[in-house]
Amino acid sequence: MTPAQVAPALVAPPVPAEVTDRFRDCAKDVDQGSGDLRDGLRWLGARGLLGSELDARIALIEAIAGECMSSAFSLWAQGMVIEYLVRGGVDDAFVDSLRQGETVGVTAMAPALRDVAGIEPVPVIGTRLPGGGVRLDGPIRWASNLFPDAVVVSPVRFEDGGRAIVHFRLSAAGVQVRTSPKLLALDGTASSSVSLEGVHVPPGDVLTTDLTGFVQAVRPAFLLTQTAFCAGLAARAAAGAEQHCTGLNAELRPDIDDVCARVVSVRGRLHAWASAPDEPGPADLLRLRLEASAAATDATRLEATTRGGAGYVASSDVSRRLREAAFLPIQSPTEGQLRWELSRYA
């Protein structure tokens, strides 16, 4: 069974075979830190594959995640930043540099979702300046794609209770990127924390002062595209487990059938909602993202189990997928946050 077969018979935008081939070939180098994710973004940009419609973006992220989760995650961030900037009315020429992969995008929007959910306020403090600009002070506790001169989109909280969403360059005065720690996986994603001290944002770089409305508008795409990289990893691992469900591993047949069915369910809803993102309610999106992460975690464990010692080799694709899946429950919104938010809809 192939990854494509661990899916419902429905129409999703096709992904060229050269895409999966390209990211399969680079996965080991990216995982080991010798490959540069920006090369992949530029490669996609040169083919007009960045900044596409949501259904095509979801299919692309899902397909790449089955080969290289780091690349899929970087693509997810790039796509969301493009969406934020377009929604904020940013000049097309500026957005085009992200669509071409020449400029890298950093989404630091997780605190905005937590703020709107009532979990905790945005940590970056804004001070309004004469003329409409904003001064930024405070931490971005975690973000990825922190490559030199990348564009960051971040929420801001004012002392009077107001909120805004702004964008700025990592090269701006007052921005300090902490040294990236060594990670279990996705080490090539340039992930770390950022300190902001007196960063000046001109009026034209304020995307909105309606944080809640902006979050509600982008939340479906945010969660569906995250679900896409969970689903891509889950499908690839489930196919691997299915392929090696022979001999003594046949005893695992009920577990493998169960995880394959869950992957099919996740992918069915994902692609249906990709074309109609306003159709599902907030709880539907949260539940889908949670189920996709769980399916990926279980599928990678089963794949590693069926492969035995060969999958335990540190440099193997199987062990890489196992490590990649370990990231999903802590990716914001974390499993704890997803469960907490879902409990509010019970």
Q: What is the pLDDT of residues 234-244, one digit of tens each?
A: 999 999 999 99
The more confident residue out of 82 and 3 is 82
Q: Buried (b) or exposed (e) across 199-215, using 16+ Cβ within 10 A?
A: bebeeebbbbeebeebb
Does 293 have pLDDT greater than 60?
A: yes
- The CA-based diameter of the chain, rounded to the nearest angstrom, is 73
Nearest to 178 by CA among 131, 136, 142, 217: 142
CATH 1.20.140.10 in the chain, residue ranges: 212-343
Q: Which pLDDT band holds residue 272 (cuts at 50, 70, 90)?
A: very high
The amino acid present at 11, given as its one-letter code, is: V
Residue 51 pLDDT: 86
**Superfamily covering domain 212-343:** Butyryl-CoA Dehydrogenase, subunit A, domain 3 (1.20.140.10)
**The two three-digit tokens of residue 210, written as one number:** 């309606």
The pLDDT of 257-262, averaged and rounded, is 98
Average pLDDT for 61-73: 98
Task: Give the 3-state secondary structure percentages of the chain, helix then strand then coil, rounded to 5.
Answer: 55, 15, 30
Nearest one of 126, 316, 315 to 240, comparing CA atoms: 316
- pLDDT value at position 12? 81
Q: Reply yes or no on whether the pLDDT at 5 is more than 80.
A: no
What is the rounded CA–CA span in Å between residue 330 and residue 338?
11
Q: Which pLDDT belongs to residue 10?
A: 56
Q: pLDDT tier at 9 (50, 70, 90 boundaries)?
A: very low
Instruction: Give the residue with greater pLDDT, 6 vs 42.
Output: 42
User: In the predicted model, what is the mean pLDDT of the chain?
Assistant: 96
The boundaries of every CATH 1.10.540 domain in the chain are 3-99
Of 27-36, 150-159, 211-220, 295-304, the range with the lowest mean pLDDT is 27-36
- pLDDT at position 303 is 98
Q: How many CB atoms lie within 10 A of CB 264?
A: 18
Query: Which residues fall within 8 angstroms of residue 272, CB to CB, at 6 or more apart?
Result: 10, 279
Q: State the Cα–Cα distance between residues 125 and 140, nearest whole angstrom.
A: 11
What the block records as the tokens of 96 is 């085009």
Of the candidate CATH numbers 1.10.540, 3.30.70, 1.10.150, 1.10.3430, the domain formed by 3-99 belongs to 1.10.540
> What integer is the mean pLDDT of 213-226?
98
- Taking Cα atoms as reference points, which of 253, 220, 244, 234 lies closest to residue 298? 234
Q: Is the pLDDT of residue 11 over 70?
A: no
pTM of the model: 0.96
Q: One-letter amino acid identity for 339?
A: R
Q: Could you give the 3-state DSSP secondary structure of residue 144? A: coil
Instruction: Report the CATH architecture of 105-210.
Output: Beta Barrel (2.40)
Count of CB atoms situated within 10 Å of the CB of 281: 11
Long-range Cβ pairs for the range 84-89 (8 Å, 24+) = 84/109, 84/153, 84/165, 84/167, 84/207, 84/218, 85/151, 85/153, 85/167, 85/207, 87/207, 87/208, 87/214, 87/217, 87/218, 88/165, 88/167, 88/207, 88/208, 88/214, 89/207
CA distance 191 to 181: 8
HEC string for 28-61: HHHHCCCCCHHHHHHHHHHCCCCCCCHHHHHHHH
Residue type, 44: L
Does the pLDDT of residue 90 top 80, yes or no? yes
Q: In this model, does residue 8 exceed pLDDT 80?
A: no
Residues of the chain with CATH 2.40.110.10: 105-210
